Structure 1
Amino acid sequence: MREDLTFTSGGVECAAWWYPAAGATTPAPCVVMAHGFSLTREDGLASYAEALQAAGAHVLVFDHRYLGDSGGAPRQRFRAGEQREDWRNAVAHVRSRDDVDAARIALWGFSFSGGHVATLLADGIDVAAALLLCPFSDGVPRVLASPPKTVAWLLPRALADMAGRHVTVPVTGQPGERAAMNLPGEADGFAATVRPDSRWRNEISPGLFATVAAFRPVARASRIGVPTWVGRCADDVSADGKAIGKLADRAPRAELHDYPGDHFAPFHGELPTRIAADQVAFLRRTILA
């Protein structure tokens, strides 16, 4: 069971699903959830939301502005600061609800959204716990792993986007193709993860890539004071595994969970069930206690 709703962020209506907590008769804990770089709520988040809902938590799953079912123009625009504002407004929305226990809110982020959540935690956002699945924790390894030809092609487009010209590039492509994410397996991972009814588009504004090396949540992880669940996949080439490990080591109350597979494995086969069970167990020790 879920409901459609919207909340306002930066003058834009962000689309969301609301999963009411199973069996809740008093204000219940709430998990706020969003997908990673360019993906939408349609792309594999429902099974996680349903598992958390069944465990007794409300869940809000939203699309960032300019993406998916959310409003805003130009479409497919990516601005990290604006996305973090969407997170803050999502939290404000759930905190305003009478059926939510405002003292027991957790954040759930995958990939770049995991990096957003880590950044928000280091900035002191008022929540009780967090779950970071394959979080993008350090932009430096990504820059070093990117083919020089891709960097040379992408950088002028990123600078044009940052200068105010709306430019888009493919999100992903096969190795050697012109795309923001073209490391081995990334295009296949997106293709397997995007659902038939998704509004995901293989198109994104590239301004982020002019400064991605400066996006380093790992550098401030020691400031993360809440209990934090961190999931890492062994063959992930999109989010650096060493950086994820460092983030978990530095965050005083973090716990690291290792899984097989690549960056997109958490959305395929039996692994989502295993990961969701581990996340529910973590929440039962924290906000569901």
Structure 2
Amino acid sequence: MHAYTVEPLYVKSGQEVIAADFYRPKDVEKPAVILMAHGLAALRQFKLIQYAQRFAKAGYAVVLFDYRYWGGSTGRPRELVNIKAQLEDWQTMISHLQQRKSIDARRMVLWGTSLSGGYVLSLAAQLNNIKAIMVQVPFVDGAESAKLYPLQQLPKALKLSSQDYMGSKVGMTPTTLPVVDPTRLCFLQSPDSYEGYLSIVNPDYYWSGEIPARALFKLIRFRPIQDVRKINVPVLFIAAKADSLIPIESSREAATNIAPFVQYHEWDMKHFEIYHGQWFEKAITTQLEFLHQHVGVS
């Protein structure tokens, strides 16, 4: 067990600033570093701190960041989900960490959950300076996830998404959709998403619960599964059998395409259960075992 410090970290990205927390083990010289960010419309304080703390106690440095437009990071409009910009934020943070002398950037691990799991898979297929990646319930294929959206609601949602996108081109106020809602049109329409998503929200931090609708069209077209055959670093992939947002068949196909580099786990849980209780403990244990095997503390 290692003692650690947590320091604020601010990284310039164009005209904006990315806010992060830097977890540093006190007694490990030049530790390996794990770079982490959240999924759709979430802040770094939404259950990711518990992962970062456990990694730091195990002797790994951790950088946990908010995307531009979110949380402590700057950018307007607030609470915008822009896939291209968020992938750029990952690249910015990777480049920053490669310059830091206090960590061993040659042992950098990318960690993603849900949408950020999709980002990490995409990045691992492009980059050659990553030691390993860990993804849990990752978003692997927007086209397949769209098939789980209620068919009668999809045309209306896509119309709003298109209207918001066109409006953004002429400076109009964003048209938003709730992330989750039990009765209204929203981004995550599955029956367990409302309670599941709210179970990770930290009420101590501002979160409106709505995001510009333009993101929906882009999400459907985001398909990390098309690139994963290019991955050639160790991958830990944890999928949920009862996932109502990511078809388990898509996860299985993605894992098959990553072979032989993937260590694939499929657990009998729902999408949001991995942040809680026994599934969180199982995830942390599995992730630490993977880290010790492929990265190591010293």
SS in 1 for 2:288: helix
Aligned partner of 2:220 in structure 1 is 213
Alignment-mate amino acid for residue 251 of structure 2 = I
Shift of 1:167: 2.2
| Contact 1:47 1:272 (8 Å CA) reproduced | no
What amino acid maps onto 2:249 in structure 1? K
1:28 maps to 31
Give the Cα–Cα distance (whole angstroms) in 2 for the partners of residues 125 and 149 of structure 1.
Answer: 43
Does structure 1 conserve the Cα–Cα contact (< 8 Å) formed by 2:70 and 2:78? yes
Q: Is the 8 A contact 1:22 1:53 kept in 2?
A: no
2 CA distance for matches of 1:122 and 1:161? 31
Indicate the percent of aligned positions where both proteins have the same amino acid: 28
Q: Which runs of 5+ in 2 are unaligned?
A: none
| Aligned match of 2:189 | 182
CA offsets, 1:80-102, max 9 Å, x none? Answer: 01000000111112111111112
Match of 1:51 in 2: 54
Q: 2:209 aligns with which of 188, 202, 206?
A: 202
Q: Normalising by the residue count of structure 2, what TM-score does the alignment of the two structures yield?
A: 0.92
Partner-residue secondary structure (3-state), 1:148 = coil
Q: Residue 247 of structure 2 is aligned with which of 240, 244, 250?
A: 240
Displacement after TM superposition at 1:71 (Å): 1.0
Aligned to 2:293: 285
TM-score of the aligned structures, taking structure 1 as reference length: 0.95
Q: C-alpha separation between the residues in 2 aligned to 1:173 and 1:142?
A: 18
**Per-residue Cα deviation, 1:58-90 (whole angstroms, up to 9, x for no partner):** 000001111122111011111101000000111
Give the root-mean-square deviation of aligned CA atoms. Answer: 1.5
> Does the aligned pair in 1 maintain the 2:79–2:211 contact within 8 Å?
yes
Aligned pair partner of 2:14 in 10, 14, 18: 10
Match in the other structure for 2:236: 229
Q: How has the CA–CA distance of structure 1 residues 112 and 125 changed in structure 2, closer, same or farther, with 3 Å as cutoff? A: farther
Alignment of 1:27-106 (within 5 A): 27-106=30-109
**Alignment match of 1:254 (pick from 262, 281, 297):** 262
Instruction: State how far apart, in whole Å, the 2-side matches of 1:125 and 1:87 are.
Output: 14
SS at match of 2:116: helix
Tell whether the 8 Å contact from 2:148 to 2:245 is kept in structure 1 after alignment.
no
Deviation, structure 1 residue 22: 4.8
Q: Residue 112 of structure 2 is aligned with which of 109, 114, 136?
A: 109
Q: How many residues matched?
A: 287
Match of 1:169 in 2: 177
Counterpart residue identity of residue 142, structure 2: G
CA contact (8 A) 1:150 1:179 kept: no
3-state SS of paired residue (1:23): coil
Query: What CA distance in whole angstroms lies between the structure 2 residues aligned with 1:85 and 1:113?
Result: 12
